[in-house]
Amino acid sequence: MRRIRIFILVLFLMLTACQPTPKEPFVIGKDNERLIEKAKGSAEPAQAGSSLYDQLGCPRTYVLDLKNEATRVRIRGEAPVILPEADALPLVYVQAARFDQETVYAFFRALTAGEPMYDIPTASPKWYIEQQIKEKQARVDELAAGGRSEDEFQIRALQNEITGLQQEYSKAPEEVALVPNDGTLKPYSWDFMGKNSAKGTAVQAIERPFEKDGATFTVTNDAVYENAGSYAETDGDGNEQYFTPRSGSNLSYTRNGLHMGSYTTSTQLLDVTKESLTGEAARLPEGLIIEGHLEPEKLLLSLTPAEARRQAEQLIADCGVTDMVVDGVYLLSSRQEIGAAEYWDPDDLALQRALPERQAYAVRFLRQVAGVSVESFFGISQVRVDDAGYGPEWHYEVLEVAVDDEGIQGVEWIGPLAVESIITDRSTLLPFENVRTIFEKMLPIVYANYGVDKDWEIEIDHVRLCLWRIFDRDSFTRGILTPVWCFYGQVNGYSDTMFQPLLILNAVDGSIIDPHIGY
C-alpha cells in the first residue's frame, strides 16, 4: 500500500514586516571548535531555585502575528515554550552505537514470548512458487478482462515476474527445511561492485516462513567498512548505481507482518499524549475523514492510551533500556492517505478500501542525556561531497513501540546513540530575546531563496529547547549533541512533517541547523 504525505521540506522561519530582507542567511556553518569554545564560555551557575525560564528570560508562551507582503507569508501563534526540567544543558560527544547481544536477546525473548522462530529461508519450495504464479496470473487475467490500455504496462510487468518464477520453479526443491532462530547475532558481509566491502552482525527471524502473516524480528548492526567512500557506477544495462555508506543500526519487530509506525505505512489520527497521562479514553473528532476516503473514522481499540503507554514503558524497562523516555503517544490507522480518488487507479482504490482497518497506539521514545531530551525525526543527515548529495548518511535515532488490543504490535529502533564524553555539563546559551530576534529576521531569506510564489500561512504551535545531534567534522559515526531551539507548527493547515521541526536554531551561537545536512 502507498501513502501520499504532504511533507514540507523547507525551513519555515519568522519575519518582521518592517525589516529589510538581508542578503545572506545568518548561518555559521559547521565550525565545531568555535561552537565548543562558545558553549564553554562564561556560563554562570544557576541561582538556587532559578529555572531555565528565568535564566534565559524566556516566556511560557510565545505570542506572535507577523505578515510580510513581499514574500506573501503570514506567521502567527500562541505557542507554549517547553523547557527541560534541568537547570542547564550539556554539550556531548556521541557515537553511533550497535546493538549488543544482551540487548538483542532481551527484546527477542520479550517479543516472541517463546514462540518458535526460524531463519528467513534463502530458497522457496515448489509449492510456494506455484502459489505465487497462480496469484499473479489471476491478476493478469483480471486486468486483461478490463480491456484498459492503461493496464498494459502492469500486465507486462506481471508477465515478466511470472516468467522469472517459472524459471525459479524448475530449480526449486520440493521442500525447504526450517532452521530455528534464537536471536543470536550472526556475521554478514557484502561487496559493492568490487569498490567497497564491509562486515557486520545481524539477526533475521520469522515465525511462519512462506505465509503472509506471522511475526518477524530483525536486527542489522552498522557495518565496519574497509572504505567508507561513496561511489557511482554504471552497470551493464546503463543504469547508474550508487553506494552511500550509512550509519544507523536498527532493530525491528512486527507481530503480524505490518508495523504500524507513524512514518511508514500508517496514518496518524490523533495525538493522545495528554490522555496517556490522565487515563482518559481517546476521542476522535466527530466526522473525521482521511483524505481520499468517504467514511468517517471510528475508534476500534478498547485499549486506552495510558494502558498502551504502560505496556511500552514496561517493555523497554524489561529489556534494560534506562535512558529513553516517552515523548508522545499517537493513535494510528492502517488506512492510507491516498489523495483525491480521481487521481488513483480505481482498482487500486478499491483494493485499499477493501482491506480491513487496523489501529494501534504508537509510543515514541526519545533519548535523555543529563535530564534533557535528544530531539529527533524520521530521517537521515548526509555528509555533503562537493555540494552533491551522495555522501555518507547517519540516521537520526528513533524508538517507537506500537500497541493494540492484543499487546505489542511492533517495535522500531533505528540509529541508537552512545554517549562518548561530556564536553561541558553547562553550555552557555543565548537569551531567548536573541533567539526570537534571529528567528523572526530569518524568514525572508529562507523564502527568498526557496522561491515561494504563493501565500503561506504558518502557525507555530510549540517551541522546545532540547538537544540535537550534529556531525563532527565529516564523520558519519561521531557527532555532538548541542542545545537547540526547535520550532514546530503547521503550514497551510498541514503538520504531517514526520516530527521534523519547521526550524532548528543552535541555542549556543544562533546558527540555523539543517537536519538533512547534519549541522
The whole-angstrom separation of Cα 488 and Cα 214 is 38
Q: Which whole-number Å values give the CA distances from 296 to 87, 291, 292, 299, in the listed order?
A: 46, 10, 11, 10
The whole-angstrom separation of Cα 102 and Cα 100 is 6
The whole-angstrom separation of Cα 500 and Cα 376 is 7
pLDDT tens for the chain, residues 1 to 519: 222 222 222 222 222 223 333 333 333 346 788 888 888 886 566 554 578 999 999 999 999 888 877 767 788 889 999 999 999 999 999 999 999 999 999 999 999 998 999 999 989 999 999 999 999 999 999 889 988 887 888 899 999 999 999 999 999 999 999 999 999 999 988 776 666 678 899 999 999 998 878 899 999 999 887 766 666 777 666 777 677 788 899 999 999 866 666 555 678 889 999 999 999 999 998 888 776 666 788 899 999 999 999 999 999 999 999 999 999 999 998 876 554 444 445 555 565 566 678 899 999 999 999 999 999 988 888 876 665 556 788 999 999 999 999 999 999 999 999 999 999 999 999 999 999 999 888 765 665 555 555 677 788 889 999 999 998 877 889 999 999 999 998 877 666 556 788 889 999 999 999 888 888
Find, among 461, 448, 423, 484, the residue nearest to 93 by Cα: 423
Judge if 71 and 155 occupy the same domain: no
* DSSP single-letter state for residue 341: G
The whole-angstrom separation of Cα 486 and Cα 467 is 9
The whole-angstrom separation of Cα 367 and Cα 419 is 11
Domain boundary among 399, 415, 431: 415
Domain boundary among 379, 395, 415: 415
Judge if 107 and 168 occupy the same domain: no
Burial class from Cβ neighbours inside 10 Å (0-12, 13-18, 19+) for residue 153 reads: exposed
- CB of 491 within 8 A of CB of 77? no
Domain assignment of residue 73, yes or no:
yes
Judge if 204 and 298 occupy the same domain: yes
Domain assignment of residue 12, yes or no:
no
Find, among 75, 74, 73, the residue nearest to 447 by Cα: 73
Structural domain including 262 reads 98-117+200-415
Taking only Cα atoms into account, the Rg of the chain, rounded to an integer number of angstroms, comes to 25
Judge if 314 and 258 occupy the same domain: yes
Judge if 281 and 214 occupy the same domain: yes
Q: Which whole-number Å values give the CA distances from 467 to 210, 368, 507, 508, in the listed order?
A: 44, 9, 9, 11
Q: How far is CA 336 from the centre of its chain?
A: 17
The whole-angstrom separation of Cα 286 and Cα 297 is 8
Domain total for the chain?
3
What cell does 473 get? 567534522
Domain assignment of residue 286, yes or no:
yes
Judge if 444 and 334 occupy the same domain: no
What cell does 47 get? 541561582
Residues pairing with 243 in the sheet: 231
Q: pLDDT at position 457, please?
A: 79
Residue 445: strand, helix, or coil? helix
Domain assignment of residue 514, yes or no:
no
Q: pLDDT at position 456, please?
A: 74
Q: pLDDT at position 75, please?
A: 84
- CB of 239 within 8 A of CB of 223? no
What cell does 116 get? 518458535
Model pTM above 0.75? yes
Domain assignment of residue 511, yes or no:
no
Domain assignment of residue 11, yes or no:
no
The whole-angstrom separation of Cα 418 and Cα 415 is 10
Judge if 311 and 446 occupy the same domain: no
Judge if 204 and 283 occupy the same domain: yes
- Report the run of H or E that residue 145 belongs to, with start and end: helix 126-146
Q: pLDDT at position 341, please?
A: 40
Q: pLDDT at position 237, please?
A: 67
Judge if 384 and 271 occupy the same domain: yes
- CB of 308 within 8 A of CB of 363? yes
Domain boundary among 352, 383, 415: 415
Find, among 314, 302, 290, the residue nearest to 496 by Cα: 290
334-350: b (≥16 Cβ within 10 Å) or e: bbbbbeeeeebeeeebe
Judge if 89 and 152 occupy the same domain: no
Judge if 248 and 384 occupy the same domain: yes
Judge if 341 and 300 occupy the same domain: yes
Domain assignment of residue 5, yes or no:
no
